[in-house]
Amino acid sequence: MALYNLSNTSYSGKMNERTHQYNNYINQAEALRIKNENKPTLEEAELYQAAARVCGEIMAINNTQRNVYGQWKARRDDCIKTMERIVAAINPAPAKAPETTASRTIESSDRAVSNTTASGFKTNNACKDVPAATIESWYKSMPKHSFADVTGMDDVKDLLMNHVSSSGWSRLDEILGIPPFQSFFLYGAPGTGKTFIIEAFAHEMMQKGFKFIRLLGGDIHASLVGVAEKTVEIAFQEAIDNEPCIIFIDEIENVCVSRSQNNIEGHEKRLTVAFLEAYNLLKSSGKRVIFLGATNYPSMVDEAMLDRIQLVRIPLPDYETRLNFFKDTFNVLQPAADFTFEEMAQSTENYSFRDLGRLADTIAINIKSQAMDEYAVVDENEKIDEEMTSKMAVDAIVKGELAVTRELFSKIQGEMPPSDKTKINEEIEAFEKRVKGINS
């Protein structure tokens, strides 16, 4: 029970820290407004922006707790709305001339002074709101794990592997009419491995020369008014300029917000329109670009996007996947003689990879504590000899003297039940019915 409480403390600690940060930013903003006799300032807007970003972090921590998630989303929206009002009061928007083309270009007058960073990174798309250093941060190094490290999800791997194996056959693709641009929208309950398999896919494609751009939807959403739209536009243009390229937006529901929602704000509608325009430009560019989006809440994504992208549901791990997970995770640490990996897999239905990971980690920590107690070696100063104790414990594990017992597994499982997925599963099923209606 102590270890389970330790996990709760970790969650409570994160929540307390983020809540304190949020309150601090709000208090500073209010104090600044009083100090400036209600005159709006950019510094005040930046404080509300920072508060909105903290709200986004708290939402991520509580992505399976819809009530808490909703409360902090409302606070984030209030911060962004306040930030919008402040920015509008400081810099009233000039009348906008009608656009003569669907393509949204980056004005030359908005270019940053430098398109090169200190590390030597160069881009043609930097501007004062989205500097070269920010753009450089979007480019990610090759993830360490590949498809070989992905447990289960064979159908998804097969779907994506087709693009890995066929990449580079441009002449054949041209004859067959296969477009160079491809896009996939991965959705499912939290902890099912959406980001993990996308990173594995990126690993495979980067070995074929692709670059990997990754952005977090919540960070884009929390940007200052107008900057979010520029960020999306520039990110997509970067992918076009640097083909072959993968561009991945996680938490895409924050960037392509459903305009049918009753409480959608004006800036969210503008961001959705900007995203769809940039996506269309990317698709029509004729460049070798693969776009990937992922979300836990597909019903929050705008319907206009749903018939433009291939939808891929990532399910909870099935029996075979859970069996392989325990075999791979415990590896040297084996089950006791009267207990099997098969029993572990059978008893963990409705577990996500995140649930399985927490369970396995806690079991391993318990066995480590047991090993340190049972195989402790004390030196002449009556202090534990860490090196000898570790050696004795490892030998015991290798020999099977320390193993995962049914009693320990059941005890930890009882203390750490899987997250409640009833609500999210209902939302996903409703989303899939809605998509069928759209496509019928």
Q: What is the residue extent of each domain of the chain?
A: 9-90, 113-313, 319-420
DSSP state letters, 91-130: SPPPPPPPPSSS--PPPGGGB-S-SB-TT--B-S--BSSS
**What is d(CA 40, CA 91) in angstroms, rounded to the nearest whole number?**
10
Report the half-sphere exposure of 157 (CA within 13 A, side-chain side). Answer: 15
- pLDDT for res 161: 82
Give the confidence band of 49 by pLDDT, cuts at 50, 70, 90. confident
| pLDDT (tens digit per residue) in 388-403 | 888 888 888 888 888 9
Q: Model confidence at 111, in pLDDT bands (50, 70, 90)?
A: very low
Q: Which two tokens stand for residue 132?
A: 């070269």
**Integer Rg of the chain from CA:** 25
Apex 146 CA angle, 144 and 150, nearest 5: 115
User: Please, are residues 48 and 66 in contact by the beta-carbon 8 Å criterion?
Assistant: no
For the domain covering 319-420, report its CATH number.
1.10.8.60
pLDDT of residue 198: 96
In percent, the amount of the chain with pLDDT more than 70 equals 87
Mean pLDDT on 349-362: 94
Rounded to an integer, the average pLDDT of 280-297 is 91
Q: Do domains 113-313 and 319-420 have the same CATH topology?
A: no
User: Using CA atoms, how far apart are residues 136 and 131, in angstroms rounded to an integer?
Assistant: 9
Tens digit of each residue's pLDDT (9 = 90 or more) over 152-208: 888 898 888 887 665 555 666 666 666 667 899 999 999 999 999 999 999 999 999
Asked if residue 116 has pLDDT above 60, the reply is: yes
Rounded to whole angstroms, the Cα distance separating 421 from 419 reads 6
Q: pTM higher than 0.75 for the full model? A: no
In angstroms, the CA 32 to CA 41 distance is 9
Indicate whether 373 pLDDT > 50.
yes
Backbone phi, psi, residue 296, to 5°? -90, -15
- Look at the domain 113-313 and name its fold: Rossmann fold (3.40.50)
